[in-house]
Amino acid sequence: MTGAKAAPRVAVIGGGPGGLYAAALLKRLDPTREITVWERNAPEDTFGFGVVLSDETLGGIEHADPVVYAAMQREFVRWDDIDIVHRGHRSTSGGHGFAALGRKRLLQILHERCRDLGVELRFRTEAPPAADLSRAYDLVIAADGVHSATRTAHAEAFGPHIEEHRCRYIWLAADFAFDAFRFEIAETGAGVMQLHGYPYSDSASTVIVEMREEVWQAAGFEGLDEHESVERCAKLFADALDGRPLRSNNSAWIRFRTVVNDRWSHGNTVLIGDAAHTAHFSIGSGTKLAVEDALALAACLQEQPTIERALHAYEEERRPVVTSTQRAARASLEWFEELKRYVDQPPRQFAFNLLTRSRRVTHDNLRLRDPEFTADVEREFGCPPDTPPMFTPYKIGALTLRNRVVVSPMDMYSAVDGVPGDFHLVHLGARALGGAGLVMTEMVCVSPEGRITPGCAGLWTPEQAAAWTRIAEFVHQQAPGTALGLQLGHSGRKGSTKLMWEGIDEPLDEGNWPLSAPSPLPYKANSQTPHELTRDGLTEIREQFAAAAWRAARCGFDLLELHCAHGYLLSSFLSPLTNHRTDAYGGPLENRLRYPLEVFDAVRAIWPADRPMTVRISATDWAEGGNGGDEAVEIARAFAAHGADAIDVSTGQVVAEEQPAYGRSYQTPYADRIRQETGLPVIAVGAISSWDDVNSLILAGRTDLCALARPHLYDPHWTLHAAAEQGYTGPGISWPLPYRAGSRRPQTGRTDAPKPRLTLG
């Protein structure tokens, strides 16, 4: 044999589940391999108590090694329910399907399997350095955990990024079996604490106690030894434990560390499990990821002709899965870090919020798993019977929206001299006919110099006002029940650029107009440098906003939004990265807010009192030294104090060097924070793409409205189709009469073809 399949000598550093399982699989696939595992601890030593595995992971184990699977199967404790206990209320959600066993027993099973196959296990023995092993062995598997010495020794090659988080936690055990996966919240004088508990045998449960660092210190845990900590935890959660004690096993209070590596292999050395990546225990992923790594690595070594190609294929296969898991784990971790934000929610909503914290469990998942629980949450929330959360009405100011869906502002770059034409009529009209509760225009500019591109729409002339009036009349006549909102803004230093498809943020080749900003800082190195606004310039632009608002009111718009995000003029006053002024409009946040608030006040004074005003903000600049979540909360509070009816929470696009953390609904946590800490209505936006996401976010209380952009470009009738797919026909949606015949999903080809009658083993 040649290549990766031969790999006659394999060294494994670390005798945890990932390393042991990798050794067993590789030996089973090729009995001629010489495989040695180094583990510095004794075989009976283990840290932690129970291990939870998903059905997906178990299926992979079953197919790869039925012997290991059968041994594990005999030990499993299975349960379906999750209990959330908070302020004396116990909410139970069923249908979740967990399998767990003791970590010590899992290691014993893997030890036995390795010995039976002929793997050499060296306990109580430090592994030689990976660099030495890589010269003596064909393959080195570093499964040496979160504190991996291999990763540290070759940090330049692996490129590790390690982040320590804000909670302390301790792994303990109880000598009885919980009858469900249990989350219990304790509100103490020191702060909020939580218990995560689950059974791992008929007579034992894992218990994890977790709390913020400052709560841990205030509660006095810092000065306690292990025994004292265990006793204190048992007293704090005496109700959950029914007065029974807890026990430890070299348990210590630790802070979770997220590990990410730029690369997982270096020469013939490869990282697996926690050495390569970690994901917070609250989604039960550590052992799962390590075992799945071992499965994928073994398969790639079997399939690829060389070790180099096998290690590349392994990382290519696993990295997207791990990245997705880490994203979900971070969402879960941060939810528990910010637990105090949610403790005042109604009990069922709190439970739903906890269950959907990682965004992997959703409203639709729960509706299928436990329809009774989900119906109770919906009823407590105020959903009318048979009404998905997204189709519950919402009142913003004096305006009642028939549903919670917003067509987000999207620049079309298709106006001529600022005049919206037939394209805009069709574009906005189609989305209004598509069922959303609120349809927003693109950013409408207050002056020729306030445009982003020559194709941007405006509202500084009577001709532009007449064109917008035509669009508003169409929406109100042909799509009754749909509200139309205008977003008003000024490009600032990001103006005088090409149309998006000709070169986004690239300056015009000719025909440029002068730019203005709080400070003379170009957006990019090749961008035009704006002039710093004087007092006269500030007054002139403020009056341009007021004049545009006067026209907007007469056009018939139902809502006006002031654009203070994405690095445009008002946004650039808010960020310290773009506002370097030393006068009353620069410096501390109070000063940086001054001009945007002056503009808001001028617009609010003109805009009819019975029509709502919202403000879009960038809740983080995604750049060091810029605004972040703390500033976003204060900015939101300031606008609300001046009369804003809701905050539209976007992020970024303030500086070109930003580094956003993209992902599904990645901006929603900022809206959630503003809503929880200020009580203000919020609009969430950013990679919200499914009606299930919309239902989940609204029912969990993380937002009041959801704004979607690209999904409405893909499907102008996204909201109508969301109703059809959920079987909803109530007042939260209205099919235009000419479209009513299409209100049921069209039939498709057969998918129920006869199944094969024979399966060959």
The 10s digit of each residue's pLDDT in 582-628 is 999 999 999 999 999 999 999 999 999 999 999 999 999 999 999 99
Secondary structure (3-state) at 104: helix
Q: Is 568 a catalytic residue?
A: yes
Provide CB contacts within 8 A for 316, sequence distance 6+. Answer: none
* Residue ranges of E strands in 418-477: 438-445
- Per residue in 626-662, pLDDT tens? 999 999 999 999 999 999 999 999 999 999 999 998 8
Residue 310 is inside which H or E element, if any?
helix 307-337
Tell me what pLDDT residue 145 has: 94
Tell me what pLDDT residue 98 has: 85
- Per residue in 523-552, pLDDT tens? 999 999 999 999 999 999 999 999 999 999
Contact 26, 32 (CB under 8 A): no
**CA gap 723, 192 in Å, rounded:** 39
- Per residue in 425-483, pLDDT tens? 999 999 999 999 999 999 999 999 999 999 999 999 999 999 999 999 999 999 999 99
In this structure, what DSSP letter does residue 170 have?
E
Q: Give the pTM.
A: 0.92
Secondary structure (3-state) at 281: helix
Closest CA to 65 of 7, 3, 112, 4: 112
Tell me what pLDDT residue 761 has: 32
Closest CA to 388 of 742, 734, 706, 732: 732
Residue 292 has pLDDT above 50, yes or no: yes
Secondary structure (3-state) at 649: strand
Residue 5 has pLDDT above 70, yes or no: no
Tell me what pLDDT residue 158 has: 98
Beta bridge partners of residue 532, listed in sequence order: 517
Tokens of 752: 């129920």
**CA gap 349, 344 in Å, rounded:** 10
Secondary structure (3-state) at 752: coil
The whole-chain average pLDDT of the chain stands at 94
- Per residue in 95-116, pLDDT tens? 988 889 999 999 999 999 999 9
Residue 167 has pLDDT above 50, yes or no: yes
Which one from 169, 394, 568, 670 is the annotated catalytic residue?
568
Which of the two residues, 585 and 666, has the higher pLDDT score? 585
pLDDT band, very low/low/confident/very high, at 1 (cuts 50, 70, 90): very low
- Per residue in 667-679, pLDDT tens? 999 999 999 999 9
Tell me what pLDDT residue 49 has: 87
pLDDT exceeding 70 applies to what percent of the chain? 97
Angle, vertex CA 356, rays to CA 355 and CA 360, nearest 5: 115
| Ramachandran sector of residue 13 (left: φ over 0; alpha: ψ -120 to 50; beta: rest) | beta
Provide CB contacts within 8 A for 542, sequence distance 6+. Answer: 595, 598, 599, 602
Residue 17 has pLDDT above 80, yes or no: yes
- Per residue in 120-153, pLDDT tens? 999 999 999 999 999 999 999 999 999 999 999 9
Q: What is the CATH number of domain 9-339?
A: 3.50.50.60
Residue 319 has pLDDT above 80, yes or no: yes
Residue type, 88: G
Tell me what pLDDT residue 236 has: 96
Tell me what pLDDT residue 749 has: 65
- Per residue in 331-373, pLDDT tens? 999 999 999 999 999 999 999 999 999 988 999 999 999 999 9
